[in-house]
Amino acid sequence: MNLSSKVALVTGASRGIGRAVAVELARQGAEVFCTSTKAGGCDETLEAIAALENDVDAHALVCNVSDSESVEALAKGVLDEKGKLDFLINNAGITRDGLFLRMSNDDFDDVINTNLRGAFLVCRAFARSMAKARTGRMINIGSVVGSTGNAGQANYAASKAGLLGLTKSLAQELAGRNVTSNVIAPGFIETDMTASLPDNVKTEMLKLIPLSRFGQAQDVAQAVAFLCSDAAAYITGQTLAVDGGMTMS
């Protein structure tokens, strides 16, 4: 894959899947804008990109994706500097797990606001520019639980299910402008987000994965790079599960 001369934005690129995606896109030659909610949050990601030694530019920007003004400032920053965005990867996400009967309003709202409203705000902030350029790839990082549901994750599963509707609607509205919109739905990926799960839960989950291993952030990053590549030009409105076969449809 050759993504040189392309510009990418990865939200939530300070660690985990977002960092792996940013580094992989940079490895393929794309200039990458990385976001975190904290100043300095993406320092290690930028160091990893610099270590590629392929002269690709990378930038760190602070953005809270659930805050409309913060997202507008992000879009202005990227578009003022580069004049375009080729790849938008909505990766920022949180969990606030809990059984439904005890789930607080805040835990529901926080997850929806970050995972779903955040993706809406960021897509909207860049959609006009992509439509005008008549090119663009929007990739939303969902989850297999957006299709299957998951006990203890009603808020999270609802946010990821919402992403499917958002993505397909965008795919239909923007196809005429050659802008594609797809979801990547990871299964169980070893990151900070899953590190705190109890061992017995992990053991049970492993039994459900036909490929008999947990996913790595790099597994997701390579799928993102594929959807950004010319090879994926005719794919839109789809959900690609990266889950070792845990869910099959």
Which listed residue (2, 4, 38, 201) binds ligand NDP by CB under 6 A? 38
Task: Count Cβ atoms below 10 Å from residue 111 Cβ, excluding itself.
Answer: 26
**Contacts of ligand NDP in 82-121 (CB under 6 A):** 91-94, 114, 118
Greatest distance between any 2 Cα atoms in the chain: 52
- 8 A C-beta contact, residue 181 and residue 237: yes
Which listed residue (6, 9, 11, 117) binds ligand NDP by CB under 6 A? 11
Establish if 146 lies at the interface with ligand NDP (CB under 6 A): no
Which listed residue (136, 162, 186, 244) binds ligand NDP by CB under 6 A? 186
Q: Which is nearer to ligand NDP, 211 or 233 (CB)?
A: 211
Of 192, 187, 239, 195, give the one whose Cα is nearest residue 212.
187
Query: 107: part of which helix (H) or strand (E)?
Result: helix 105-111
- 8 A C-beta contact, residue 20 and residue 141: no
Which listed residue (28, 36, 153, 236) binds ligand NDP by CB under 6 A? 36
Name the catalytic one among 33, 87, 120, 156. Answer: 156
CA gap 7, 28 in Å, rounded:
11
Going 125 to 47 to 216 to 229, the CA torsion angle's sign is positive
Active site residue 156: yes
Candidate segments 30-38, 124-132, 168-176, 198-206, binder of ligand NDP by CB under 6 A: 30-38
- For tokens 């005429």, the residue is 176
| Residues forming the site for ligand NDP (CB under 6 A) | 11-12, 14-18, 35-38, 41, 63-66, 91-94, 114, 118, 141, 143, 186, 188-189, 191-194
Active site members: 156
